[in-house]
Amino acid sequence: MKLLEEMSWPEIEAGQSQTRTVIMPVGATEEHGPHLPTITDTIQAMQVARAAAQRRDVFLAPPLHYGVCRSTRRFPGTITVGHDALRAYARDLLISFHESGFEKVMILTGHAGGQHMAALEEACQMAVEEHDFRVSLVSLFDLIDSKDVETPGDGHAGEIETSLMMVIRGDLVKGRPAKHFPVRPKFLIQRDVRHLMGNGIMGNPEPASPEKGALFFEMAVSGVIRALEELEGIS
């Protein structure tokens, strides 16, 4: 496996004779209820990307640990950046990958908030308009088949994420709290929604299990492989 952070530049250059594709995991440092760690989004993206890189000859870049976290702001442990900051940073990173000899770059994000995804999508669009290379943007949760999720509308720190973390870092999972779906205004724009968020869960951790986590993990890895085939022009 080609771990970019552990390779010297001559090793990277030699590896680029075999592949010029790299995956950059993106996550967030964000509260995930009373039972999951703040690194949840990042570590999920990292481990899925690592598993995909073990099956396919691609480079794996160090992760980006911070993202746009709107709903969970003001929780202890949520460290967020703004939309414009993430867009500019991601765009710069993509261009730098290109300048460093990579022709195909996948951003795999484990955090899927609306503003976060919009910033990454705009960054990708800006990069490909400025330079001639291929870029993919993949959200981890778009790869999980909803028919295998017991909880309708499951979301943040719920069945999917708790199950995945049981498999990835079970030592960091502190139980399975009751479901919680915060009620928020449909149209009203608010400065801060912390008072509406309760314990920070937006889903149902109760039906989570290691067995489901293994299933969801394999779905995600297989989805990344398919996305790599598209990125590399194989499908």
Q: Domain coordinates of the chain in residue numbers? A: 2-231
> Mean per-residue pLDDT for 183-210?
94
What CA–CA distance (Å, rounded) separates 143 from 49? 13
Q: Grade residue 184 by pLDDT with cuts at 50, 70 and 90.
A: confident
> Mean per-residue pLDDT for 3-14?
98
> Mean per-residue pLDDT for 32-56?
98
55-80 exposure pattern, b = at least 16 Cβ within 10 A, e = fewer:
ebebbbbebbbbbbbebbbebeebeb
66-120 residue pLDDT tens = 999 999 999 999 999 999 999 999 999 999 999 999 999 999 999 999 999 999 9
Q: Grade residue 183 by pLDDT with cuts at 50, 70 and 90.
A: very high
Residue in the block written with tokens 């765009």 = 91
Report the percentage of the chain scoring pLDDT > 90: 96
What CA–CA distance (Å, rounded) separates 17 from 2? 12
The answer to whether residue 181 scores a pLDDT higher than 90 is: yes
135-180 residue pLDDT tens = 999 999 999 999 999 999 999 999 999 999 999 999 999 999 999 9
The answer to whether residue 235 scores a pLDDT higher than 60 is: no
Q: Are residues 134 and 104 in contact, defined by beta-carbon separation less than 8 angstroms?
A: yes
The CATH number corresponding to 2-231 among 3.30.413.10, 3.40.190.10, 3.40.50.10310, 3.40.605.10 equals 3.40.50.10310
Report the percentage of the chain scoring pLDDT > 70: 99
* pLDDT score of 234: 63
